[in-house]
Amino acid sequence: MEKRKFKFLLGLMTCAFALSALAPIAAEETTQEPGEGTTVVEQTEAPETTVATETTEQTTTTTTSKDLPIEEDIFEITARYGYDVSEYYKPEGAILVDAETGQILYGDNIDKPWDPASTTKLMTAYLVYDAIKAGKLTLDTKITATEEDRAISTIDDISNNQIRAGIEYPVRDLLYLMMYPSSNVATVMLSHAISKSNEEYIKMMNDKAKELGMTNSKFYNPSGAVVSAFRGLYVVEGVPDKYNQTTARDLATLAYYFLKNYPEFLEITREPAVTTMEGTPVEETFYTLNQLASGMPQGYFDVDGFKTGSSPNAALNHVITAKGKGRRLIEVLMGVGSWSDYNTSVFYRAQFGNALLEKGFTEYHEETVLKAGVHEIDGQKIKVEKDIKVLTRGDEKPTYKLVGDEIIVEHTFPTLTKEIKSNVFKVTKVVEETTTEEVSSTEGSTNGGILSFDEDSDLGTFANWLRSLSKNPLLLAGIILTLSVFISGIVLATVQVFKKKD
């Protein structure tokens, strides 16, 4: 009999110690972090916002031509939008980019090395605006033309305009002359204004290309004309007499940073025609060579920049930007047609250009991912300062996840360079002050910070109290330990009673 009693008591004590041992395990389970694949919670403030219901791992995309979201040949695009073109005039390279995000929407041979010809002058313009920002000059700064400048302006083999020695030309007018008639002498004058030597200036061009991430570009001259074309009037010591080299991607990158850093440059390029040196003996009017510009015969979209470039070696190129439907696009075409068939090539360059612009404005649209305000994602409250918007195509819906203090939007469009992170948005984590509500069973008494419930509370309150324990692992462990000690005490008291009876 005593043995059975002893075994019974031993069993009770074993259960008590088991409960005590489970306490730290329960505490560990209740503090487990949520998994990385946690579903993003729906926001309540903006029902029209598309919210991710699933998240996927973020991948780093290196954008070679074959990695781009290209689903069709450029001729399928021109045919769909009604632009008649010929295979002979197909561009050697093409790229279409969203100007706000730097995302590539279309590309073909975007990294193919090519002679930029006069689109080189965009780099000179960028360096001029750098100098203006640095306070070295202004658009009104006047540059006096030299006899050497006048001599360069007479070279008929390269694009130029009339320059007279001794006349002061404002920087603004020289920019007009560089961008409209594509004046080589105006380019040289600007380069001299912001550098101490021709050699230093070529270094400035290549240093800037490297800084901007133009990894496949190399400059040997400031304007696109080889140095030998200046007939000894412009010399760069130690630099080969070569054509400049770049790619469609690199020129689009230059245009992207131009719009980001110096959007006022569009005031120079937006007009179909300009008059330079008004009221002086050298006043001239020039029309843009960009047939896609607003007001020109093939200007179907609001194209307000930048530059064309052509030569026997390069065929026909252009770097343009257009705005529409609340967005702005950048487009680069390289090597269209041929120099020997210039007028027809100009026409087809515009045909290809308009088709790609129509694709960009028609097939892509902005989607709001999160509206400005406070949201809760994976149990963390965050504050979004302004609407987070991304570009999507068709019925595609963007997904996103919270990583630290950043919202990472997952999408399919790569960017021009790895430094452009258009899918990452900074947010502010909302930290709420928490206090322990002290519930008193009688007036003036406290519970020492331990969660409790009123004996008159309904079952719902009791259930909530039980659920609250899962969020307080240390409290749960303490309760389990206390119960085990209490049960052990009952067991020991029972043993003593049995001993007295025996």
Active site positions, annotated: 118, 121, 182
**Cα gap 292→307, rounded to integer Å:** 11
The total of other beta-carbon atoms located within 10 Å of residue 454's CB is: 12
DSSP class of 365 = E
Cβ density class 455-467: b for 16+ within 10 Å, e for less: eeeeeeeeeeeee
- Identity of the amino acid at 228: S
**454/368 Cα distance (integer angstroms):** 47
Nearest-angstrom CA–CA distance, 422 and 246: 24
What CA–CA distance (Å, rounded) separates 475 from 473? 5
Cα separation, 490 vs 478, in Å, equals 18
Determine the distance from the C-alpha atom of residue 305 to the mean position of all C-alpha atoms in its chain, rounded to a whole number: 21
DSSP string of 66-78, one letter each residue: GGS---S-HHHHH
Place of tokens 């700064």: 141
Helix then strand count (H, E) for the chain reads: 12, 17
Cα–Cα separations (whole angstroms), residue 3 to 10, 16, 243, 345: 10, 20, 104, 108
Task: Name the E strands within 386-495.
Answer: 388-393, 399-403, 406-410, 424-426, 428-429
CA–CA separation, 353 and 253 (whole Å):
18
φ and ψ of 177, to 5 deg: -65, -35
Helix (H) or strand (E) holding 369: strand 364-370
Q: How many other CB atoms are there within 10 angstroms of residue 392's CB atom?
A: 18
Q: Check: CB of residue 428 under 8 Å from CB of residue 383.
A: yes
Question: What 3-state DSSP class applies to 132?
Answer: helix
CA dihedral (94, 96, 100, 102) positive or negative: negative
Question: What is d(CA 243, CA 224) in angstroms, rounded to the nearest whole number?
Answer: 7
Amino acid at 432: E
Cα–Cα–Cα angle for 350, 206, 179, nearest 5°? 35
What backbone torsions phi and psi does residue 309 show, to the nearest 5 degrees?
-160, 135
Residue 124 CA to residue 113 CA, distance in Å, equals: 20
